[in-house]
Amino acid sequence: MRRPLPQRRHSETFDLDWWGQRWHVTVGYYDHEMTRPGEIFVNAGRRAGTDLDVMTRDAAIMFSMLLQHGMTLHELAHSLTRNPAGGPGGIMGAIADKLGEN
């Protein structure tokens, strides 16, 4: 069952450098302490409107829906592709790892 976010919620916006480009990320949280993310929005910076931007925005919607249906950030990060060294294999994994640092 989907757990809806509060109508008014805390959020943060940050830039993340990945794959040689800057990504713009906004995260909405369930709690005032900003420890329980419930939604993310991502755009590909200077590549806005490209196929890459569209795929990333769609992936952010799925990321958000998984969080809203009870998947933890740790479970989500663990489920995403990893490189041979154990680091994130894609931008969504890099975002999950960054959120997990907080």
The whole-chain average pLDDT of the chain stands at 93
Per-domain residue ranges of the chain: 11-101
16-52, pLDDT tens digit by residue?
Answer: 999 888 999 999 999 999 999 999 999 987 777 889 8
- Strand order of the β-sheet with 37-43 is 11-18, 21-29, 37-43
- Surface-to-core class of residue 60, CB atoms within 10 Å of its CB (0-12 exposed, 13-18 middle, 19+ buried): buried
Query: Would the pTM count as exceeding 0.75?
Result: yes
Give the Cα separation of 69 and 15 in Å (integer). 26
